[in-house]
Structure 1
Amino acid sequence: MTVSDPHSPEQPRASVSKADELIHHHTELPTTRLSQWLDSILAAIGKSASWLWVVVTGVIIWAVVGRYVFGQGSVFLEEVQWHLAGTGWLLGLAYTLVVDDHVRVDVLHERMSLKAQGWVELLGLLILLLPFLGLAVYEMVPYAIRSWELGETSQAPAGLSHRWVLKAVLALSFALLLLAAVSRLFKVTALLFGFPRPIRTDAKNDKKEDAS
């Protein structure tokens, strides 16, 4: 008789894989031409913004070496760090929605049929996400403009000027997230109502026409 080893590395891998599968559960939605176009733009922006983390790492190393090797601290470098980190994080929000790689914690959603998941997505988008994002863009754009008009700068000595830039990025991130939500809305309506027409349906129809 074979006795399984409780310390075997295979068992933890299996449990982690199962947990990861539950956490990163994806709703398989059809793609439309408009959503595909929006997703490609948002994905390009998100992937480009990810390079900011390389820059942030370099700035952190520079600041640490300057502080502990040469004894020269820099408020400027400290503010550059969190400005760049905030920009990278904000511009990556829309990308996470495009690839549906944000964490889902609804244990009921993953047990529903695809149609039921589509209805949950539709109601969540129309009632919760889209109104919130619309309100956020409505509030953030004047917020950034006001900062620019005042010439807002850092309150710290030797800090960064042009504080409006980060606030403009905040407004931009909500606008991009709004576009990502609209793209997902098109996918959901394509699933539930067939409009806009899914690309997969088009491909199947083209094959049928070629065969005839």
Structure 2
Amino acid sequence: MSPPEATEIGDAGLKLDDKLPATAFSRWADQLVIRLGLLSSAVWGVLVLAILTGVFQRHLLSQGTIFIEEFQWHLYAVGIAFAIAFCMANDSHIRVDVLSRNFSMRRSAWVESIGIVVLLLPYALFVLWNGILFVNTAYQSGEVSLAPDGLGHRWIIKSMLPIAFGLLTLASLSRLTRCIAFLRNPAN
């Protein structure tokens, strides 16, 4: 079933994503980000097992381990970081549509494009660049957990930051190309 036709004003029930044309780049980028997002969703099952292991150790064996606790927050970080890019590619991210719900599709595409260029991309690129420096510092210094039983090789978990923000940048550029394709069509 196709979405209802958009009116000039008051397209509240119609998501902008339903009207944005796909580009060759957006198809490739969205497919990559969504596949990696789905793959990374397996982390939630592993996290549940880690939590249950921690509870079992603490309450039944009366021994907790820092290793399991650190492993849990590493898994949370990976799950959340990859979910951000997945939600952007899937157009399932949270928006504040207080104003834009009454905008035409064209105006919504303009607002989306400006938001991506002015707010999202600079932030994502800033975190991506500094995340790479962050990982490099951790790798070069051989950073490990300060806890005696903690995880080593902190650069591995820290590398999730630039990877996730690289994927967010990719998903944002995909969305931007779709908005531009929509805006370039005179029929819109």
For Structure 1 versus Structure 2, the TM-score category normalised by the shorter chain is: 0.7 to 0.9
Query: CA separation in 2, counterparts of 1:180 and 1:155?
Result: 36
Q: Which residue of 2 aligns with 1:198?
A: none
Correspondence 1:134 to 2:92: no
Match of 1:27 in 2: 16
Determine if the alignment matches structure 1 residue 190 to structure 2 residue 166: no
> Equivalent residue for 1:10?
none
Aligned residues: 172
Q: How big is each residue's C-alpha offset from its partner over 1:54-86, in whole Å with a ceiling of 9 and x where there is no partner?
A: 000001101101110111111110111110111
**Contact between 1:25 and 1:110, CA under 8 Å: does it hold in 2?**
no
Q: Amino acid of the residue matched to residue 82 of structure 1?
A: W
Corresponding residue for 2:6? none
Q: Which has the higher Rg, Structure 1 or Structure 2?
A: 1
**What's the TM-score once normalised by structure 2's chain length?**
0.88
- Structure 1, gaps ≥5 residues long: 1-21, 195-212
What do the CA deviations read for 1:148-174 (whole angstroms, capped 9, x no partner)? 000000111210001111111111111
Q: Which amino acid aligns with 1:178?
A: T
Q: 1:162 is aligned with what amino acid?
A: H
2:174 is aligned with 1:175:
no
Whole-angstrom CA distance in 2 between matches of 1:177 and 1:77: 29
Q: Please, which of 141, 150, 160 is the counterpart of residue 150 of structure 1?
A: 141
Distance in 2 separating the partners of 1:102 and 1:25: 15
Q: Which runs of 4+ in 1 moved over 4 A?
A: none
> For the Cα contact (< 8 Å) 2:128–2:161, is it kept in 1?
no
The higher-RCO structure (CA 8 Å, 6+ apart) is 2
In 2, the alpha carbon distance for the partners of 1:46 and 1:27 equals 22
What 5-or-longer segments of structure 2 have no aligned partner? 1-11
The within-5 A match list for 1:96-135 is 96-135=87-126
